[in-house]
A and B are shown apart, each in its own frame.
Chain A
């Protein structure tokens, strides 16, 4: 399968712990996005990379959240001092070109985070 791959699929953690998720995009895609999805809602934009450069971060992203894409391939999303409100599905997506040009987003299966 050459689609977007995310690990782990599920993560249960206690409040206050740090967690890190990984995303491997489709190999030729240099645009990578992180979205968050809560129950009954659409995906909510978090951040965007073009190659290794993080070009945009949502105002929703507190300073407890950090994302990296060090070599322009895989990306990690870290949440420090997790809170129960962080419980959600974290979706990674990639695209070949800018979405405004009609290049579609391809999503991974997501990492479901539960903070107890």
Chain B
């Protein structure tokens, strides 16, 4: 069935290092790929998204890349800070019928001072 796989499940970095989270999707017609950040006890919040007609998008220290041929996309966080510590979820839209997002299982990022 339709699914989104996300790796790694946990990621620990030192402050100032870069962090990369990768996702693969199964629906070749997916055309929208958002990333959400969820802090403990809080709602998932959109941090960046990309549409299928774009290969890369950047917003300050956060960037997302998309490879449609390989059906994978990645989140890159540079110059990590302790406040980047959270769970990050990737998602992909499904084609056909009515649109919805399918989420990955999440990556718990810990940034150590």
Contact = CB atoms under 8 A, between A and B. Distances in A.
Interface in A44-101: 44-45, 48, 50, 55-56, 91, 98-101
Contact of A102 (B49, B89, B102): B49
B22 to A, nearest CB: 15
Interface of A: 4, 33, 35, 40-45, 48, 50, 55-56, 91, 98-102, 104-110
A105 B106 CA distance: 17
A59 B42 CA distance: 27
Which has the most chain B C-beta neighbours within 10 Å: A48, A50, A107, A109? A107
Contacts of B93: 99-100
Given A99-B93, A107-B44, A42 B103 contact: yes
B100 A104 contact: no
A92 to B, nearest CB: 10
Interface in B60-113: 89, 91, 93, 95, 97-106
Interface size range of chain B in the complex = 20 to 34
Contacts of A107: 36, 43-45
Given A102-B49, A109-B43, A40 B105 contact: yes
Contacts of A35: 103
Interface of B: 4, 6, 31-32, 34, 36, 42-46, 49, 51, 89, 91, 93, 95, 97-106
A99 B99 contact: yes
Contacts of B98: 48, 50, 55-56, 98
Given A99-B32, A102-B49, A105-B34, A33 B44 contact: no
A99 B103 CA distance: 13
Contacts of A100: 31-32, 93, 95, 99
A109 to B, nearest CB: 5
